[in-house]
Amino acid sequence: MLSVCPTCGFLDLCDQKSDRNHDFLNIVPNYPVPLSSADRQWLHADIIDLENDIAILEHQIQRLGASLSSLRQARKRKESQIESRKSRMAPVWSLPAEIIAEIITLTASDDNSDSLDTRHSMPWVLSHVCHLWRNVALSTSAPWSRLYIDDTRGRDYPFAPELLQTYLDRSKEIPLSVTINSSNNIDDIRERLTPHQSRLHTLELNLCLPGLKALSVLVANFPKLTILRLSVEGTNIGPCAPCRRVSSCTPLEGRVSRRNWDISRWGAVEAVDEVHWRHFSRRRLFCSSKTV
């Protein structure tokens, strides 16, 4: 029968060939012979010993398996610690926070992916590089001030108003550049943007008819807006009108109606019949319509 070491509790497996197999061959030769009663008793006892040995081996296998799992986890922790130490030696750690902030801002300004897509939006991705970059990204307003909202991705990627609110909060008080591409009602977006209308610098709207219902409320008051681009898709609008541009370099306060823009033939734009314009030093309006 197998025995374990009293110190470590493991089996000594260096030489497990005992005399048991030799005794078995002496008792049971290779040719058939009748077994005596003593031989049967010996075989029965030997079977019991072998079964006990199997139980001991099974216990040792389980114990060693647990030990191997712990050893693998310990090795993985050490490898992670090595990678952490190596990363601290990278040149990026010696960059001043101001340079990192500039890198994040420039990368975000070149980004055309949906701000509410956490897999591709540059400010979001760069804020998860490491603790240093995250701290810099969260303390820098500019990367979060450029919002591209795509609400046309279907049910697999529903609109996430809480993410929009996160970007608005992180942009603090600086001017906003907002692009909305939606084939749905934009009430949820409008509700989030309304408290920040005074910060809108650039507004680009690519809407269908449902989104126009909220448009007049959305553009009711934007004292810092300098560029407004509007693209409308809908039915029964009539022939496509050419892109028209209205610009002014002089301050103007008052009401500007769609008749001043010469877009009265665009039935879909009636939702923005009249808009308040205040405190403009420069305005640019780009309007277009498409039939589908």
CA 15 → CA 2, 168, 210, 254, distances in Å? 11, 73, 83, 101
Q: CB of 174 within 8 A of CB of 199?
A: yes
Taking Cα atoms as reference points, which of 125, 127, 176 lies closest to residue 148?
176
Taking the CA atoms of residue 249, residue 253, residue 254 and residue 256 in that order, the dihedral angle to the nearest 10 degrees is 20
Please tell me the predicted confidence (pLDDT) of residue 278.
41
pTM of the model: 0.54
Residue 214 has a pLDDT of 63
Note the helical H segments in the chain: 20-27, 37-88, 97-109, 122-126, 131-138, 161-170, 187-193, 209-212, 215-218
Give the pLDDT of the chain (292 residues) as one tens digit per residue. 566 666 666 666 554 555 555 566 566 666 567 778 888 888 888 889 889 888 888 888 888 888 888 889 999 999 999 988 888 788 877 889 999 999 999 888 876 666 667 667 888 888 988 888 899 999 999 999 988 888 776 555 656 778 888 999 999 999 998 888 877 777 788 888 888 888 988 888 887 766 666 666 665 567 778 887 877 765 444 343 443 333 332 232 333 333 333 333 333 333 343 344 443 334 444 445 444 3
- What is the tally of helices (H) and strands (E) in the chain? 9, 8
Q: Quick one: pLDDT at residue 284?
A: 46
Q: Decide: 216 and 191 in contact? Cβ < 8 Å.
A: no
pLDDT of residue 169: 93
Q: Is the distance from CB of 283 to CB of 256 less than 8 angstroms?
A: no
- pLDDT of 16: 54
**Rounded distance, CA 182 to CA 81, Å?**
46
Contacts of 271 by beta carbon, 8 Å cutoff, 6+ apart: 212, 213, 215, 216
